[in-house]
Amino acid sequence: MKKHFILILTSLMCSVSMAQDLDFGIKAGANFATITDASGFSNTTGFVGGVFLGFKLGDTWGLQADMLYSQQGGDFALGDVKLDYINVPVVLKYYLTSNLHLHAGPQFGINVNDNLEDVLPGGDGLSLADAESFDVEGVVGLGYEFPFGFRASGRYNFGLTDAFNTGGKNSVITLALGYSFL
């Protein structure tokens, strides 16, 4: 599954590199995350950052893929549950003006770290719950492209798959700033 994911991502990036109106840059911001469909969780704040690559499909449409390190999870009664992902959202953009756009699409995430053994100990160094290794979320958002390459965006990511083997889905609001080199 991971090999197919990397092959699709590489193919997308190669196709994008041949397009006109190429947009490549960096972005960073804050995540305001929680776990839904599970009791006892409240919001936690984390970091998000990485690179983006996109292109325009005429005057009103565009496509963008990001590769982001994303701290997610939620605050639980026994401590802060941390789930760190490498996320790859692929969003279709619709430009309301030449600078303002709405965007939506899927996001694919690979869990690279969690602290469940520390927060939810079950004995013998095991956790009462295990984090799933792969996550799929839906993304909806709004972005603005300022002159001189600066970018600002707000997104809501809603879990489509469970974050843990016991249930619960990621729910994340992301606010980010970026800079396009092209």
Taking only the tens of pLDDT, the chain with its 182 residues reads 556 555 555 555 555 445 568 999 999 999 999 888 766 677 889 999 999 999 999 989 999 999 999 999 888 776 788 899 999 999 999 999 999 999 999 999 999 998 876 766 665 555 567 888 999 999 999 999 998 999 999 999 999 999 888 888 999 999 999 999 98
Domains and CATH numbers, the chain: 2-180 (2.40.160.20)
- CA of residue 15 relative to chain centroid, distance: 22
The partner residues of 54 in beta bridges, in order of sequence, read 23, 64
- CA 97 to each of CA 40, 101, 144, 145: distance values in angstroms, whole numbers, following the listed order: 42, 7, 9, 10
The span from the CA of 50 to the CA of 36, in Å, is 25
Rounded to 5 degrees, φ, ψ at 9 are -60, -45
What count of other Cβ atoms lies within 10 Å of the Cβ of residue 169?
19
